[in-house]
Structure 1
Amino acid sequence: MTVHSGKRTLPVTDLSLVVLVGSTGSGKSTFARRHFKPTEVISSDFCRGLVADDENDQSASGDAFEVLHYIAGKRLAAGRLTVVDATSVQPESRKQLVQLAREHDVLPIAIVLDVPEQVCAERNAGRADRAGLPRHVIQRQQRELRRSLKHLEREGFRKVHHLRGVEEIEAAEVVLERRYNDLRHLTGPFDIIGDIHGCASELETLLGRLGYADGVHPQGRTAVFVGDLVDRGPDSPGVLRRVMGMVAAGTALCVPGNHENKLARWLRGKQVQHRHGLAETIEQFEKEDAKDPAFRERVREFIEGLVSHYVLDGGKLVVCHAGLPEKYHGRTSGRVRSFALYGDTTGETDEYGLPVRYPWAEDYRGRAAVVYGHTPIPSATWLNNTICLDTGCVFGGRMTALRWPERELVDVPAEQVWYEPAKPLTTEAPGGQDGRPLDLADVTGRRIVETTHMGRVAVREENAAAALEVMSRFAVDPRLLAYLPPTMSPCATSQLDGYLEHPHEAFAAYREDGIRQVVCEEKHMGSRAVALVCRDEQAARDRFGSTADGVTGALHTRTGRPFFDAPAVTEQVLARLREAVSSAGLWDELETDWLLLDAELLPWSLKASGLLRKQYAAVGAASGAVFPGALAALEAAAARGTDVEGLLSRQRERSADAAAFTDAYRRYCWTTDGLDGVRLAPFQILAAQGRSLAALPHDEQLAIIDRLVAADPTGLLRETGRLVVDTADEASVAAGTDWWLELTKAGGEGMVVKPLQALVRSESGHRLVQPGIKCRGREYLRIIYGPEYTRPDHLARLRSRALGHKRSLALREYALGLEALDRLATGEPLWRVHEAVFAVLALESEPVDPRL
């Protein structure tokens, strides 16, 4: 507790269990209301009222405190500051609260309100619900408080704030402090360096390769050391001088390793065994004593000031020495520190007499990437969003660093074997891009998926079950299923005579969002397709873990199903696409061995032949069979003088509508033989090795696509027509409308209007803008809404269509798609990518008008 200008400042850790200690009438509830949020405070009186309808019913105290402990536990598990408002003057009651804090790895903090007995008695007398409280109760609580004061820290409270008297309580000010390990506000970029073990020369070489000069990076990057700076190697003091200097200068962070922990005990004069390289360090320190007698003390202070782990970059990155499960991230306890320093073991020993490490990373499912060291391995690989950077430099291996957020590995070889390892370097857990296999628990039940661009997106349990049916029975190999395109919202309903959709509404919507430049893209008469094309079979195997012979990618529908039943046909399409990519020089230009493309596969009949036969062709056939006879009969009746002119006129209109319906769907059907007649119209490159391209402006995207189409020697690829429109320029809007009218008059499906800059937010910046609005042609909509939909009475009814759910669905699926691409590009494991991909498919089973 500190004093500033008459104020009593009480530091309280932002994630902790605060226990207010004081007699009845000491003012705990008033103090809690003044200094904490109402939701942060759990009162024993309130809990007593919950279970007994009477806050003063002492017979309900047992149940009340069960409720209090349960609520407090839930808040602490969720990472929320929790304040307990109860007398807590008895050691037994405090013991349960300290234990609760330890269970959730947070600090227990006591704030003692030490008020004279007379003040407590007067306050209770002034309260109607406490007026009958016997004086001896307050006296007993005061005695218990006196006995407790000197024991609070020994009971386990990490901080004790003792406020004496009413004036000191009134003058107190609670100040929330950030946890030492909470550096989420630091966003880097970082260079995280694995175990060094006294290899000072290799460290300097690695820092040089990373761009540091005398410990400073010209671009302001920050080095982060994962510990085990010392022991075994030739120059532990040299490593410490470099790291300590960088930390002091603010150009580096450091967490302790188990070897620093042991060295600190030796520096404090504790008895420790001089094993595992400590003997070499002690010898090096004895040589340092003659040159710098104060060096030992500076090292001791430095090590003792290190924090077990750091949470960085908005919570996306955790750095520690031996790894850390998600439940310990940002927590503060001896258990957390022990795991961060030593990891966990199975209790077994291997053939070399060394403990068998518990493979915590195999079960890791956290959003934060965990970067650590401790266990030497031959090479650093990602495993379930974790990576070990100890590549055994001191044993003759390499010294490795990870550039963050680039996720790029940089390493240098050891200059020699400085210390013979107890066992050969081996990878103890399965690695590679896939990490652990997909697990049913990853996708079943109600899910919450965290996305960068839209926050949390919820998936209902019933929708997840429906998606699981599709994914497990019909989808392509999940290792090749990296993305599912989102549904697309139609434009607002048009009020123009004869139209249900019209470009005017699409342009107006983007204009209202402050977006002037949009691109109108021709909507092809096919089926949405996603193409993953790899440079060769080895690239598919290396990046996506494909194990089937001859597989170089995938071509699937927007629900993940393969377009062609025969894998050989898929490979033929990919071979032609790959040839075009090679001819266009995109492999080298984009520095990638694979591309993920969004496209349309034509004709529509290629995938929708069953739908065409059963739903559309049946309507055409029925009308063709019925209307000629009916019209002939009516015309004959009219010729006889029967008044059937009105009925005849209506039936002629209906016949014309049916003929227009047949003509409309036939435009989407043509005969194919193998790949003859098949066309693929790519319109966006979604991702390449190491980056998502979803935010690349559409004019740049289409320029690359044009080169790809021009380089195609096989005739498979088809160009996407486009027109850029200024939504604030009437002439430009008119030109866009005319272009749409020309497309649809010639039988085209219509167009999709997109912000030219691709990934954009509204002017306020609070929400994503629709990535595309489809504006379908008048005749195409006849297929969707039926032959007679253009009749005025039908149009009037259809104009009441509700678009809100469809728009919401489109944005949620879009955010999930972006998340999948980001995770794919940054090399996250398969289950992390699939979490977002699966969620898109699950949302598709939400009930929405399929005609939209």
Structure 2
Amino acid sequence: MSRRNTKLSHISIPELSLVLLIGPSGAGKSTFAHRFFKPTEIISSDVCRGLISDDENNQTVSADAFELVRFIAAKRLKLGLLTVIDATNVQPESRREWVRLAREYHVLPVAIVLNMPEQVCQERNTLRSDRNFGTHVIPQQISQLKRGLRDLREEGFRQIFEMRSPEDVAMLETITRSPLYNNKKDEHGPFDIIGDVHGCYDELCNLLEVLGYQVDRENTSLISAPMTTNAEGYTRFRKPVFVGDLVDRGPKSPQVLRLVMNMVNNGLALCVPGNHDAKLLRYLNGKNVQLRHGLEQTVAQLTSETPEFLESVKSFIDGLISHYVLDDGKLVVAHAGLKESMQGRGSGAVREFCLYGETTGETDEFGLPVRYNWALEYKGRAMVVYGHTPVPTAQWLNNTIDIDTGCVFGASLTALRYPERALVSVPALEQYAVPARPIGYSADSVLSVQQQYDSVLNIEDFTGKQILQTRYSNNITIREENNIAALEVMSRFTINPKWLIYLPPTMSPAETSQAQGFLEHPAEGLQYYKEAGLEKVICEEKHMGSRAVVIVCRDEEVAERRFGVTGEGNGVIYTRTGRSFFTDKQTEQDFIARINTALISTGFYETFDTDWVCLDAELMPWSAKAQALLQTQYAAVGTAAGKALPAVVTALQQAISNGAPAQALLEKYTKRLEQTTHYVKAYRQYCWSVNSLDDYKLAPFHIMATEGKTWFDKDHEWHMSAIKNICAGDEQILLATPYLLVETGNAESEQAAINWWKELTAAGGEGMVIKPYTFLSKGDKGLIQPAIKIRGAEYLRIIYGPEYDAAENLERLRNRKLTGKRSLALREFALGLEGLERFVNKDPLQLVHQCVFGILALESEPVDPRL
């Protein structure tokens, strides 16, 4: 906009821009800024002088003050926030620094000039007692301003607004923020993002039809688009998004252009430009370009087209936006990809990167530019979908995916379905061109580029204080000292980290029971969920074993392809701290083979459309994993007490028979002997001899994830039913968990649960776990506890000691605090689910491991381990 337009009631500026207020002292810049911008958007040089010297007029600190202004502005622009510089900015050299900063962060510089008369500025300054500079300053600033006004556009300002009087300023009513052309965050899809077409019209039509679109091939137009219903129940038409390079090398570039132009112009599709499209535009505009790399075919094909069509092609390509930011910023589409710092920005450098990527300036042995692999270092939140560089199959790397699968070179044309993340391809009908260099990468295995890159993780991602975002809870903070402990566990004790996609959370007990003789009771657990607003819960038997995560692949090829693990069999069983459950690898693989056979025989892989599964389970007996703990802690106590207390009781009985007043002591130690006997009996029930695989029992209770799917949307009854089907495949080692559905608030239903718990514990069982009926339940304060354990009196004797149920001990233990344990359980639960979601979505391993490390780190928090 021209600076000559002074009489304005409304102006519009880009939503992301660096706004320079330009004018002499007294022009009213600060008043103007606070009238039209938020206080946080304004960075004032005067305020910064005050911050560092307690005097806003201290000109001796101007250099330091402007250093602070630039620092704050840079931080805001990095975050994509509009920023206003409130300073005189009348000298070209001062403005030059701001234009340089805007270009550094790929935002648009905007100039708002308050070119007020000298008299107005002088009168305003006389009213400010804090302004004591000489009368020569304002005329000098006005002179500098006027000399530079005509050069503002050459300095780099694309929007310039000038106001020459207080009346001009008063006339201005609003300043609106215009979204950048690349901002389509309000479009949520679903999308079908299509790779480089390169004139392969027939293959494009084939792909669209496979995707569910109807195409009028003869008239190069779209007849209809498929519809998809999202998770919220909204049904929307799907929209194709083309990543560019519509033309060159292939046989029918004009037809591809016609079809895509029709779709885009009718609002049925989106398209970003590719470097081949940009080169065609330069040719059509009469520029001197070399007819090579397929452009010669396109030019030949366009010779029979009308001038009107050629003009429409020029207008179409010229109007294409460098990239699009879609779906609330979760998706970015650009021809050659885009770094996080450039997404949603507008500059020549951004457009250049979108068209060509990042090059070294060198050429390879094939005469082609050597490119930096920007995706290797990408850590952005948005998924970036791009093409430009042909690959044998679509390649995921760090939440980016290259979908140019070389159709024109005889391979295939590929689309990525979003948000499903499903890939759909059709084969090329023939090879239309020979690539200048071989397509793809060399690899000695089936490992993907992502898996090869994940072989070495960046330690900086796992040290220091971490703040982890999860989709099911609030941000979770991991303290630095806890992260260090997790790093040691991960590096020294865990299984191959590539298997570690999930760690289960700890579990909190119910509120302490006040019932006589009980520390825990089902009534408190049922009351917790009732108060949380849940009408139905599920009670599951708590097994007498150790928590185990089981990952089973159909075969070793699946383990290599999906997990990047070679030579370690087709599965793994590990503890809730990531350690191998079995010290003998052969025993582990024999166990995995039994589970795999059960999965195959029950049709699990076909039913779930997968070739791997992650199960949350309990592995028994407890002694199989905790043998050392039993020997050094529990058995030692039982043996010592078993030897000493009978002798004490005998001695006291003898003393009483001799007339000593020792009856009270005899009763006390007789009670202790009885408690010790119960203690030994309690832990022995968790131990049995293991001589073969048939002596183990695995009780799965959650199907956590399969290929492309997590199962958090299914209720626990569904999980129990699906797992029962699996267990039918090998009932010798697989155990279906007994459960009971309970209606909270229904006295009869609740009493049935209490009676069942009493029966379980009376028979020597550990107790039961109460869970919400739905896997994920939220209340007014966020996530509700995913499970609450209710342990029996005799099991608690193992945990708290033989004499815990003495009246004085129970009273003391009832003061135990659950807040820390419950907070820990919720945070670990959210992190566990987040890690699985990331793995299923094929996120980089370091993102999955942020969650795994987070859980291991949280285990270092000081929480009573007996809870």
Identity of aligned residues (%): 54
Alignment of 1:790-829 (within 5 A): 790-829=805-844
Shift of 1:821: 1.5
1:384–1:434 contact (8 Å) kept in structure 2: no
1:485–1:814 contact (8 Å) kept in structure 2: yes
Specify which of 269, 274, 283 is matched with residue 252 of structure 1. 269
* CA–CA distance in structure 1, aligned partners of residues 657 and 117 of structure 2: 113
* CA–CA distance in structure 2, aligned partners of residues 333 and 205 of structure 1: 36
Q: List per-residue Cα deviations over 1:305-328 (Å, max 9, x = no partner).
A: 222112222333221111222222
**Partner-residue secondary structure (3-state), 2:799:** helix
* CA–CA distance in structure 2, aligned partners of residues 20 and 566 of structure 1: 72
Shift of 1:18: 2.0
1:406–1:826 contact (8 Å) kept in structure 2: no
Alignment of 1:395-794 (within 5 A): 395-427=409-441, 431-432=448-449, 434-436=451-453, 437-439=455-457, 440-548=459-567, 551-712=569-730, 715-762=732-779, 764=780, 767-794=782-809
The worse-fitting range, judged by mean Cα deviation, of 402-411 and 522-531 is 402-411
Shift of 1:432: 4.4
* CA–CA distance in structure 2, aligned partners of residues 661 and 162 of structure 1: 87
TM (norm. structure 1) is 0.95
1:374 aligns with 2:388: yes
* CA–CA distance in structure 2, aligned partners of residues 829 and 88 of structure 1: 46
RMSD over aligned Cα, in angstroms? 2.2
* CA–CA distance in structure 1, aligned partners of residues 80 and 452 of structure 2: 28
Alignment of 1:168-247 (within 5 A): 168-170=168-170, 171-214=172-215, 215=222, 216-219=224-227, 220-247=237-264
* CA–CA distance in structure 1, aligned partners of residues 519 and 765 of structure 2: 16
1:50 aligns with 2:51: yes
Shift of 1:598: 0.5
| Residue of structure 2 equivalent to 1:836 | 851
Q: List per-residue Cα deviations over 1:719-747 (Å, max 9, x = no partner).
A: 21111111132221222222222212222
- Number of equivalent positions: 843
* CA–CA distance in structure 2, aligned partners of residues 676 and 417 of structure 1: 57
* CA–CA distance in structure 2, aligned partners of residues 7 and 570 of structure 1: 77
| Residue of structure 2 equivalent to 1:79 | 80
Amino acid across the alignment from 1:380: A
Query: Post-superposition, which runs of at least 4 consecutive aligned residues in structure 1 deviate over 6 A?
Result: 1-4
Cα separation, partners in 2 of 1:89 and 1:524, compared to 1, 3 Å: same
| Residue of structure 1 equivalent to 2:96 | 95
**Partner-residue secondary structure (3-state), 1:135:** coil
Q: List per-residue Cα deviations over 1:762-795 (Å, max 9, x = no partner).
A: 1x4x622221122222221222222222223323
Shift of 1:433: 5.2
Q: List per-residue Cα deviations over 1:154-197 (Å, max 9, x = no partner).
A: 21223223234323324331222323223233221111100011
Q: List per-residue Cα deviations over 1:332-364 (Å, max 9, x = no partner).
A: 222221111101223332222112222222333
1:583–1:712 contact (8 Å) kept in structure 2: no
* CA–CA distance in structure 2, aligned partners of residues 427 and 168 of structure 1: 63
* CA–CA distance in structure 1, aligned partners of residues 741 and 116 of structure 2: 75
**Partner-residue secondary structure (3-state), 2:676:** helix
1:147 aligns with 2:147: yes
**Partner-residue secondary structure (3-state), 1:287:** coil
1:365 aligns with 2:368: no
Alignment of 1:243-282 (within 5 A): 243-282=260-299
* CA–CA distance in structure 2, aligned partners of residues 165 and 638 of structure 1: 111
1:299 aligns with 2:313: yes
Amino acid across the alignment from 1:590: F
Amino acid across the alignment from 1:32: A
**Partner-residue secondary structure (3-state), 1:191:** strand
1:433–1:545 contact (8 Å) kept in structure 2: no
Shift of 1:641: 3.8
* CA–CA distance in structure 1, aligned partners of residues 324 and 474 of structure 2: 23
2:243–2:386 contact (8 Å) kept in structure 1: yes
Q: List per-residue Cα deviations over 1:55-79 (Å, max 9, x = no partner).
A: 1100010111111111211222233
**What are structure 2's unaligned runs of at least 5 residues?**
216-221, 228-236
Q: List per-residue Cα deviations over 1:530-574 (Å, max 9, x = no partner).
A: 11111112221221122116x011000011111111110001111
Cα separation, partners in 2 of 1:572 and 1:19, compared to 1, 3 Å: same
* CA–CA distance in structure 2, aligned partners of residues 412 and 326 of structure 1: 31
* CA–CA distance in structure 1, aligned partners of residues 160 and 817 of structure 2: 59
Shift of 1:640: 3.7
* CA–CA distance in structure 2, aligned partners of residues 354 and 18 of structure 1: 40
The worse-fitting range, judged by mean Cα deviation, of 842-851 and 531-540 is 842-851
| Residue of structure 1 equivalent to 2:865 | 850
1:385 aligns with 2:386: no
1:438–1:830 contact (8 Å) kept in structure 2: no
**Partner-residue secondary structure (3-state), 2:324:** strand
Amino acid across the alignment from 2:484: A
Amino acid across the alignment from 1:780: Y
Shift of 1:617: 1.3
Shift of 1:105: 1.8
* CA–CA distance in structure 2, aligned partners of residues 12 and 791 of structure 1: 75
Amino acid across the alignment from 1:156: G
Q: List per-residue Cα deviations over 1:15-68 (Å, max 9, x = no partner).
A: 322222222222222222233332222211111112211111000101111111
Shift of 1:594: 0.8
2:244–2:271 contact (8 Å) kept in structure 1: yes
The worse-fitting range, judged by mean Cα deviation, of 793-802 and 87-96 is 793-802
Cα separation, partners in 2 of 1:637 and 1:712, compared to 1, 3 Å: same
* CA–CA distance in structure 1, aligned partners of residues 826 and 842 of structure 2: 25
TM (norm. structure 2) is 0.93
Shift of 1:368: 2.4
Specify which of 320, 331, 349 is matched with residue 335 of structure 1. 349
Cα separation, partners in 2 of 1:641 and 1:564, compared to 1, 3 Å: same
| Residue of structure 1 equivalent to 2:14 | 13
* CA–CA distance in structure 1, aligned partners of residues 677 and 117 of structure 2: 96
Q: List per-residue Cα deviations over 1:617-662 (Å, max 9, x = no partner).
A: 1221222222222223333333344333333333333332222222
The worse-fitting range, judged by mean Cα deviation, of 228-237 and 378-387 is 378-387
The worse-fitting range, judged by mean Cα deviation, of 252-261 and 356-365 is 356-365
Q: List per-residue Cα deviations over 1:182-233 (Å, max 9, x = no partner).
A: 3233221111100011122211111111111133313011111000011222
Amino acid across the alignment from 1:158: R
**Partner-residue secondary structure (3-state), 1:788:** coil
* CA–CA distance in structure 2, aligned partners of residues 801 and 15 of structure 1: 53
Shift of 1:423: 2.7
Cα separation, partners in 2 of 1:438 and 1:507, compared to 1, 3 Å: farther
**Partner-residue secondary structure (3-state), 2:174:** strand
* CA–CA distance in structure 1, aligned partners of residues 468 and 68 of structure 2: 30
Cα separation, partners in 2 of 1:491 and 1:296, compared to 1, 3 Å: same
Cα separation, partners in 2 of 1:119 and 1:803, compared to 1, 3 Å: farther
* CA–CA distance in structure 1, aligned partners of residues 406 and 88 of structure 2: 55
**What are structure 1's unaligned runs of at least 5 residues?**
none
Alignment of 1:103-118 (within 5 A): 103-118=104-119
The worse-fitting range, judged by mean Cα deviation, of 566-575 and 463-472 is 463-472
* CA–CA distance in structure 2, aligned partners of residues 253 and 472 of structure 1: 47
Amino acid across the alignment from 2:765: G
Amino acid across the alignment from 1:807: R
**Partner-residue secondary structure (3-state), 1:280:** helix
